[in-house]
Structure 1
Amino acid sequence: MYKNYHKGRMMTFTDQEVYNAVKHYLPQVNEYVKSHGGKIKLLGVKDNTVYIKLSGACHGCSLSLMTTKLVVEKSLRDYIDPRLVVINVDGKPENQLPETYYIDPEDQIELNKTTKERLLSAIKKFF
């Protein structure tokens, strides 16, 4: 567990530190979501807010907000920092990624590759 107390005061983590800690603990949190046919993808972090995307059976599920808050957010708060907020980027205007946020450069490369592969796959049927 990340210790964020120093002489009785809360320490502040950078977005990169929070991102790395979430990336470390997310597989443990994801076990519960997997047991329900879902998956969690870490999209980024900004100002102690963690942006995720639920997929599989959890995408669009009426209980996805409860999963986000009562499972993912609660677990990450216990593991990392009680001030964390978790938002499931689900297409609703209030749950959007901010314009700027931290994502590990390696993960950004993988995300770009996956997006490109999906796009190519979708347009292949037109040729």
Structure 2
Amino acid sequence: MIPFTDEELYEPVKNVIEKVRPSLALDGGDIKLLGVKNGVVYVQLGGACVGCGSSGNTLKYGVERQLRMDIHPELSVVNLPMGMENQMDAV
């Protein structure tokens, strides 16, 4: 169980997202933080990441790994494609 509220997690998560953004930009990609709900970080991949076959690995071994190392080992990340931003409750 994550000992932080979603509100407490938001700023640290935002900082980690900003930390990994330059790595994605090197390959033409981008990432946007949509929110944190029940310990799940919702993001939206953009640029070259959209439709890329490696985007799942980027989320798991790049973004999620960094969040778990820097904040808490139980955090997880979900990508919500463009147009699905309002679906955080459905995932």
Partner Cα distance (1:97, 1:11) in 2: 19
What residue number does 1:59 align with? Answer: 50
Shift of 1:16: 0.7
Q: TM-score, normalised by structure 1?
A: 0.63
Deviation readout 1:58-100 (Å, 9 max, x if unpaired): 0111111111111000011111111000001126x9xx4216x
Unaligned 5+ runs, structure 2: none
- Higher relative contact order (CA closer than 8 Å, sequence separation 6+): 2
Flag the 1:86–1:11 CA change in 2: closer, same or farther, 3 A: closer
Q: Larger Rg: 1 or 2?
A: 1
Shift of 1:32: 1.0
State yes or no: 1:30 paired with 2:21.
yes
Identity of aligned residues (%): 45
| Deviation beyond 6 Å, 4+ runs, structure 1 | none
Q: TM-score, normalised by structure 2?
A: 0.86
Unaligned 5+ runs, structure 1: 1-9, 100-127
Partner Cα distance (1:16, 1:36) in 2: 31
85, 98, 113: which one aligns with 2:89: 98
